[in-house]
Amino acid sequence: MSKQKKKIINDFGGIMFSTDPDFVYEANEAKTAQTLPSSQQDLRVLLDRKNRGGKTVTLITGFIGTDADLEALTKTLKTKCGVGGAAKEGEIILQGDFKEKVFLFLQKEGYKVKKSGG
């Protein structure tokens, strides 16, 4: 179900065209991301309002791992806070101001967490 990323010229290492009819481009597929243990994760928790229509959201950044693990953590945080949210581009977005609650929960789960931005 995941969307295929559109290939751009940089994905081919600068090769635009080859006159060799037998040429096959060997793509360097991205290695599957390994999820770091919670004790090695360095997460930042901050509040954000920019480009969100004035609504406050709690933003968790710095997660290193697979999309499935990011989604699982997102679901857990949404359940704990009782709010909606999403995981986009390696960040977790929770609707509302739950900075302190998220910080304490992640700390209790063994993550290295820092509050960021005021």
Handedness of CA 62, 102, 47, 54 (dihedral sign): positive
Task: Supply the pLDDT for residue 23.
Answer: 75
User: What percent of the chain is predicted at pLDDT more than 70?
Assistant: 76
Name beta bridge partners: 47: 58
Task: Supply the pLDDT for residue 22.
Answer: 82
Distance (Å, whole) CA 80 – CA 78: 6
> Does pLDDT of 103 surpass 80?
yes
Structural domains of the chain in order of their starting residue, each with its CATH number: 35-115 (3.30.780.10)
For 60-88, the pLDDT digits (tens) are 999 998 999 999 999 999 999 999 999 98
> Does pLDDT of 27 surpass 80?
no
Name beta bridge partners: 118: none
